[in-house]
Chain A
Amino acid sequence: MSKVLFWAPYHGQGQTCNLQVTALIMGLVYRKRILLMQTHFMNNNLEGPLVGYNVDNESDESEIFYGIGLDMAVTYSNMKKIDIKLLESCCLTFPNTPIYLLPGTQTKCRETFDRDIARSATRLIQDADECVDLVFIDANSGNDALSVKMMDLSDLIVINLTQRRYVIKKFFEDYGERFIDNAKVFYLFGDYDDNSSYNINNCRRKYGKYIKANNSGVIPYCTKFMDAQNEGNIIRFIKNGLNIRSKNKENKLINQIIMRFHSGIRSYGQEETDYFFHKSCRSVEKMVSLL
């Protein structure tokens, strides 16, 4: 029962993608019941790649999420303490996965959102934390008040960065001291390219005060994953990549999957997708050990 906050210093650092990949691997491999939610007001696409609705057609979205979502969950939470049944009624679930997706707010007014939703979000998260194993929160980037408040509540803060010199430098200048002594921080580089000189090893050497081997990981760039996102079927992509068979027992499955990707360590010329899964599984393994 832990709360994992995904946050980035600036918008557009691949935070939502990283959250989706991490949640799916953790849910499918480690069999954790995970609630995915977001506290963005707008300009975020947590649901699309998972659900697969046509993002060009807004009416589809309002039909799919009618009567569910963050707004409904907060309403229930204000009335009484949320239990698993109420939570499930507000969420979308996916067959053969332990993932609950709580769609984001449908409110169009910022003031209404701040007044009614944002203030009660932390109570909702506390209640939801007792119903599931993990709550993954896609928080607003930067110095957003709600995000800062949730950092104190979280058991793990995943800081999403990219291999952009400007972003890395600005992050450590503006926010570095806030996280320097924080043991519950994990640095995650998304859309990662190992051939760049701005690679994770150099980052660990340059920013060794903050980034260490056990609190940092990468999720590589993968063309097939990008296509799966655009087509809205990342769950199938991740399942196929991990070669999940539902009847496997938990311990055997985790060991098999991790060993299969770890055994790729001694192979050569890894195909991009295998490399994506290998590195993503390693990063998730490290996050699980921090939790």
Chain B
Amino acid sequence: MRCIGYAGEEAFDVILYISRTLTKLNYPVLIIDLSDSNALFMSVHHGMGLNSDSEIINYRNINYTRRIPSEEELAMFDTGVVFMLYGRNVTEDIQLLCSELIIVINTFPHIIDETNTLVHDIGNKDCRIRILIRDIVTLDDVERVKASVTFPFSNEMLNYLYLDYADYECAVNCQYTQLIRFTNISSGMEKYIINNIRTMLPDIKPNQIKKALLAARKGR
């Protein structure tokens, strides 16, 4: 089981796109949403009267819940991928589940400050920390963020996404339509999704991931 955590700023769209692509590769996916924002909750259709606060719901082959599942439930995803969405709720006992933690940050100084505090409070430094800088306008923003971040990281663990209207529109549509359709995402977002999956699942060939992404983005 590969367990990856996302903490910090909003990354619900990235998690949805990666999850949907993984389902097209027929990997079981579980998203554990422990954040305070309802971004993912609004994007995943809850049917059959099921409540994600107490159960795991399945929608378009993505399993979603807002509680910590039992060991038996987690065992069903032994061959798959588990995403833990912390938001700003990273506590010591919870983070032990993930082997890799992606800190999502943007270019606002106040957000960088809050993220520095958040990461500083993380007790367990056994999990690998990666950074995703969202909504940059130029590469100078990346340098500025790198200079402002106070926790240790390496350049190989840093990714960035440009501010793109198409990505914004796809993310909004994901919440409105609940279709997980991302046909018009930017090339940077596409590259990030493919590289992320390659890191998670190195046995899969890149062109297979690309084909799965093309199938997943249609929302069907």
Contacts and interface: CB of A to CB of B under 8 A. Distances in A.
A267 B209 CA distance: 10
B60 A268 contact: no
B56 interface: yes
Interface of A: 165, 194-199, 201-203, 205-206, 265-269
A268 B215 contact: yes
Nearest to B61: A194
Given A269-B211, A269-B215, A206 B26 contact: no
Interface string B46-72: 111110000111111101000000000
B64 to A, nearest CB: 11
A206 B60 contact: no
B48 A203 contact: yes
B47 A202 contact: yes
A205 B56 contact: yes
Contacts of A194: 60-61
Nearest to A168: B48
Contacts of A197: 45-48, 57, 59
Contact of B26 (A165, A196, A203, A266): A266
B48 A165 contact: yes
Contact of A265 (B26, B47, B215): B26
B59 A205 contact: no
Contacts of A267: 26
Nearest to A269: B215
Nearest to A208: B55
A205 B50 contact: yes
A268 B208 contact: yes
Contacts of B47: 196-198, 202
A45 to B, nearest CB: 30
B189 interface: no
A268 B78 CA distance: 20
Contact of B58 (A165, A202, A268, A269): A202
Contact of B24 (A165, A201, A269): A269
B212 to A, nearest CB: 4
B170 interface: no
B137 to A, nearest CB: 35
Nearest to B178: A197
Contacts of B25: 266, 268
Given A197-B48, A268-B26, A268-B215, 5 more contacts: A196-B47, A197-B46, A198-B48, A202-B50, A202-B58
A199 B63 CA distance: 12
A33 B81 CA distance: 43
B110 interface: no
B124 to A, nearest CB: 31
Nearest to B45: A197
A195 B58 contact: no
23 contacts: A194-B61, A195-B220, A196-B47, A197-B45, A197-B48, A197-B57, A199-B58, A199-B59, A201-B63, A202-B50, A203-B48, A205-B50, A205-B56, A206-B48, A206-B49, A266-B26, A268-B25, A268-B208, A268-B212, A268-B215, A269-B24, A269-B211, A269-B215
A205 B58 contact: yes
Nearest to B60: A195
B48 A202 contact: yes
A206 B58 CA distance: 11
A273 B193 CA distance: 29
B148 to A, nearest CB: 40
Most chain-A CB neighbours within 10 Å: which of B48, B49, B212, B215? Answer: B48
Contacts of A265: 26
A30 B138 CA distance: 63
Residue of A195, A198, A203, A265 ringed by the most chain B CB atoms within 10 A: A195
A50 B203 CA distance: 45
B149 to A, nearest CB: 37
Contacts of B49: 206
A129 to B, nearest CB: 38
Contacts of A196: 47
Contacts of A199: 58-59
Nearest to A207: B48
A197 B57 CA distance: 9
Nearest to B208: A268
A197 B55 CA distance: 14
Nearest to B21: A268
B30 to A, nearest CB: 12
A262 B199 CA distance: 26
B139 to A, nearest CB: 34
Interface string B9-39: 0000000000000001110000000000000
